[in-house]
A and B are shown apart, each in its own frame.
Chain A
Amino acid sequence: MAEKKEMPPELKEKLRARFNEDWRKELRKSFPVKERMKLPRQKMPERDPEERNKDFSEVNLGLTEKWAREEAKRCLDCANPQCVMGCPVGIDIPTFVKLLEIGDYEQSVRKLKETNVLPAICGRVCPQETQCEVVCNLMKATGVPVAIGNLERFIADYERNTGDVHIPKLPPSTGHKVAVLGAGPAGLTVAGDLALKGHDVTIFEALHVAGGVLVYGIPEFRLPKKILSAEVDYLQNLGVELKTNFVVGLTATIDDLKKEGYEAFFIGTGAGLPNFMRIPGENLVGVYSANEYLTRVNLMRAYDFPVYDTPVYLAKRAAVLGGGNVAMDSVRIAKRLGAEFSACVYRRSRAEMPARVEEVHHAEEEGIEFHFLTTPIRFIGDDKGHLKAMECLRMELGEPDDSGRRRPVPIEGSEFIMEVDLAVVAIGNSSNPLIGQTTPGLKVGKWGNVEVDWETMATNMKGVYAGGDIIRGGATVILAMGDARIAATEMDKYLRSKKAKKRKHKT
């Protein structure tokens, strides 16, 4: 749930000024709040579950122009818009929605991109129901919030589909070189923000394609690759340079890059270290980390084997362990790859699932089974070393733990066997240790996470900032982007102060 935060006075003032613009006043007058509240939420059109659970094309089809404008009408244009505070990157939601309502799509998308360089992605993958939509005043009044995410997606798609993506005029180059390590959601955001400020940005990416979790993790049916590549193209059009196949720490260290003239660094290398259950049989063939399973299918396109060379095991009976978005993606992929039985096995109950509500709903429609309050304690192999079953234990919910969720407690004597030939472990990731190991002096926490000052995202090394899963150890795309926005602002300040100092030195 989004915390109730006090709105910073500058932001409040800015929003208030826009709120008081004449066209907004008129728009509010033209259609009273009472009437707006009566409008039903526009449903996102989806492909038929029985059709879509056999392929990798996108599930959600997107709102039409007419429906999007209808939905935009539902926004009450509140004087005190809580949604803005609910958004980790602070999008001016009322303004972009109202511009959409009056049909000024061009200005609407520009407003959106002022604070979010990846709107087509966020519109698809953000957990809006726990961020902007949960604090929507319409939610409080009627229980059905404005479909902010769907509108964000509509307006971003609209611009891309016109083929005329607006490239903002860039300020003159500052001449400062910035290195962004990792082309995931955090890195892409920092790169975009700093390019718009006139800095010379290079992104270094270990894999051969930019996107990080957006490309290896999130499947095509939830985020088509062409959407992502369009967003990456946009950044390149802003002058961002992209170096793939470059593992910072191994191909070159931060120190090496400093010698090449890079002055500021953003570490956004993500949570690239899968957690395992540490139970017997975990290295049997047929037991995958979610990262491996997803990477094979999404990045390496194993769903199109043998046209693509990378294989993936095609299961008859699949179990995915975990209850987050990664688990939902994996379990839905197993189904799409032909599993007769594809189940989510989660040790808590439905209420504690961290996955987006929409993903759980889609999974259910597609024929995914849910086995709540269940945990495996042992993987069992056949004589060839291949997984054939899991021994599981039933759980019940006890007292709340540190996360505030009720702790699952095993029920004694409840062991049972679940026959599966594929198990995907989706219980989270830890921070990838490579950067910590190869950057002497960088302060790293107990779990390999880079430590930062949360106000500025600065690490203990001068000019080195970090954000996303490398500091959080496994969170969401939008939280990574939120970190990135703070870091970009601070990095810009840092670079400008450096310039001032340099000048002083000269005179």
Chain B
Amino acid sequence: MAKILKRERLVPNIHLIEIEDPQIAKKCKPGQFVIVMADNFGERIPLTIADWDTEKGSVTSVFLVVGTSTHKLSLLEAGDEVPVFVGPLGRPSEIEKFGKILCAGGCFGIAAIYPIARAMKEAGNTVITVLDVKANFLLYWEDKLRSVSDEFYVSSRDGYYDCKDFIPKTLESVVKKEGKIDRVISIGCTYLMYTCSEATKPLGVKTLVSLNPIMVDGTGMCGACRVTVDGRTKFACVDGPDFDGHLVDWEELFIRRKSYFEDEIESLCYWEKKNFP
């Protein structure tokens, strides 16, 4: 059992959860993830690590409330416990001095990209951060991300910040303005990562994405998370989660992520009926 130290709603539908686990905190590297199970009836789901504190011995993740598992997590409070909290899993992101890095995040990916931006900055890169939100009230961790970015852009559909465009178009204009980019890293929903990859393909900028397929064990044992990259099957949990976005078979990933679409609805309805009759 792992103890929840904090659970907080950051913005509507996006929550932060900080869990006590000194052993995992000691080992975390940017780009890795944990597997969490909210209760004994729960599903094992992967969450990208958004931050960690070795002194406090805690690990933080940020998630969007979608299905049963994330609903359950969003109702936990400090002091509660979860039966499964395991990690850090997956290969860490490649961090070195590349030159100019563009970090593109949206949704839970705003938090997930933070440790990568921070590490890239520490490694001596110029870090340009581009965030995408639907509206101004959905932006969080602005200060945290600003503190590790040389340039900082937010694209919001309501035009509250720099522009209204959806992220691929923003990327194009930012690249035009900032000149040569050595590497793009994109984290967020599958659609965001897909469109970012499509946008950077003609620009010839290497683009890494942190894939989020369905997983069960997260240690390479089951193969639920298989993705096709450059024509070859890879396991996102042990070969990834970072892959070259220009080589990912996105269509397959979209389909596989929807494998249990109807079951997910049934599960959520069942849970809601049971808990909020």
Contacts and interface: CB of A to CB of B under 8 A. Distances in A.
Contact of B222 (A208, A246, A295): A295
Chain B: number of interface residues, binned into ranges:
35 or more
B220 interface: yes
Contacts of A311: 260, 263-264, 267
User: Which range contains the number of A residues in contact with the other chain?
Assistant: 35 or more
Determine which residue in A251, A282, A288 has the highest number of CB atoms from chain B within 10 A of its CB, and name it: A251
B223 A305 contact: no
Interface string B115-150: 000000000000000000000000000000000000
B220 A285 contact: no
Given A285-B256, A300-B44, A311-B260, A245 B221 contact: no
B238 A309 contact: no
Contacts of B54: none
B191 interface: no
A283 interface: yes
B168 interface: no
A289 B217 CA distance: 13
Contacts of A313: 259-260
Interface stretch (A55-63, A150-158, A269-277, A319-327): A269-277
A209 B214 CA distance: 21
B85 interface: yes
B7 interface: no
Interface string A406-437: 00000000000000000000000000111000
Contacts of B83: 208
B contact patch SS: mixed
Contacts of A207: 217
Contact of A305 (B44, B89, B227, B267): B267
A313 B262 CA distance: 11
B217 A251 contact: no
Interface string A280-298: 0011010011011001100
Contacts of B271: 306, 309
Nearest to A252: B23
A313 B264 CA distance: 12
Contact of B27 (A206, A252, A291, A300): A252
A333 to B, nearest CB: 15
Contact of B255 (A245, A273, A285, A310): A285
> Which of B2, B44, B223, B224 is packed against the most chain A CB atoms within 10 Å?
B223
Contacts of B86: 206, 208, 245-247, 251
Contacts of B256: 283, 285, 385
B69 interface: yes
B131 to A, nearest CB: 30
B114 to A, nearest CB: 21
B24 interface: yes
B27 A250 contact: yes
B57 interface: no
B196 interface: no
A351 interface: no
B204 interface: no
B270 interface: yes
Interface stretch (B10-18, B35-43, B105-113): B35-43
B197 interface: no
A17 interface: no
B68 A283 contact: no
A318 to B, nearest CB: 16
B27 A309 contact: no
Contacts of A434: 219-220, 238
Contacts of B195: none
Nearest to B259: A285
Contacts of B251: 385
Contacts of A251: 23-24, 27, 86-88
Nearest to A286: B259
B226 interface: yes
Interface in A238-287: 245-247, 250-252, 272-274, 276, 282-283, 285
B68 A309 contact: yes
Contact of B88 (A250, A274, A292, A296): A250
B219 A282 contact: no
A141 interface: no
B233 interface: yes
B238 A310 contact: no
A433 B89 contact: no
A284 to B, nearest CB: 8
A307 interface: yes
B252 interface: yes
A385 B37 CA distance: 28
Contact of B223 (A276, A300, A309, A433): A276
Interface string A214-228: 001000000000000
A22 to B, nearest CB: 53
Contacts of A288: 223-224
A216 B271 CA distance: 25
B226 A291 contact: no
B64 interface: no
Contacts of A504: none
A385 B251 CA distance: 9
B267 A306 contact: yes
A292 B220 contact: no
12 contacts: A246-B86, A250-B89, A285-B259, A289-B222, A291-B223, A292-B223, A295-B217, A309-B43, A309-B68, A313-B259, A385-B251, A432-B219
Given A295-B222, A310-B216, 13 more contacts: A216-B221, A245-B2, A250-B27, A251-B87, A276-B233, A282-B233, A283-B227, A283-B252, A283-B256, A291-B223, A306-B267, A308-B41, A434-B238
Sort A-B residue pairs by CB-CB distance and give the 9 closest, nearest first.
A311-B263, A385-B255, A272-B221, A292-B222, A306-B270, A289-B223, A309-B43, A245-B86, A310-B43
